[in-house]
Amino acid sequence: MSHAAIIDLRPMRAQRAVSDSCEIQSLRADQHDIVFYEGDAAGRYFKLIDGAMMLFRLLPDGRRQIVELLGPGDYFGLTLADEYQCTAEVLRPSRIAAYDRSACGEAGHFQQMLSEYLVGRHAAMHGHMVLLGRKSAMERIATFLAGLAGNVEEGEARIRLSMTRQEIADYLGLTIETVSRSFSDLRRRGVIAMERQDLILIADMSAITALTGDE
């Protein structure tokens, strides 16, 4: 929770990119870098080109809820308010494109792309609200793993977690201990194997699917 949180976004190239009407900068960022904090003035928005990030919000007493996980192609920092309403933190080495908010408002086909993107995220967030509001700890873990495994339906899948147990807990609305216990439980049952703390082999994908609470 208490990262050094040094803002250390290194430009990939100094000059503006002319390829896109309102791209102003391309950046590289490492794990634990903060792109913006909740409350920062919201002058730009971003696209994650490559890597992984998370968006989270904090309650005054320090409780954290990760509200979105982002992968390549995802936008973030989109807000109509003057300030960002969440904090954006890098989970693993990433490339990020920054856009000027004011310059992009009018760009036509960009609007189109944007709303399509937002509609998609909308649905994903509905799914996550079901998880947070109605699923048991094990169902949350299984849903999380199934999501990371992507389209793999059956058999094995290998997953790289770029999140700590604490981050997973804050994403799933659980505690670190419950996350750990759930993993251990799955391991004992032979459903998964942990090749490393952050490298999970799903031995039985259909077992995971069956545990999600969906379908």
Partner DNA sequence: CGCACCTTTGATGCTAATCAATAAGGGTGG
Partner DNA sequence: CCACCCTTATTGATTAGCATCAAAGGTGCG
Scan for tokens 């670190």, then name that residue: 176
Q: Which of 12, 49, 132, 137 binds its own copies (CB under 8 A)?
A: 132
| Closest CA relative to residue 145, chosen from 155, 158, 132, 135 | 158
- The answer to the question of residue 165 lying near its own copies (CB under 8 A) is no
Choices 6-14, 96-104, 144-152, 196-204; region in contact with DNA by CB under 7 A: 196-204
Half-sphere exposure of 73 (CA within 13 A, CB side): 6
Interacting partner of 55 out of its own copies, DNA, none (Cβ under 5 to 8 A depending on kind)? its own copies
Q: Which of 115, 166, 197, 206 binds its own copies (CB under 8 A)?
A: 115
Q: Which of 21, 26, 65, 164 binds DNA (CB under 7 A)?
A: 164
How buried is 108 (Cβ within 10 angstroms: 0-12 exposed, 13-18 middle, 19+ buried)?
A: exposed
Given the complex with its own copies, which of 65 and 180 has the nearer CB atom? 65
**Rounded Cα distance, 78 and 100, in Å:** 11
Given the complex with DNA, which of 144 and 183 has the nearer CB atom? 183
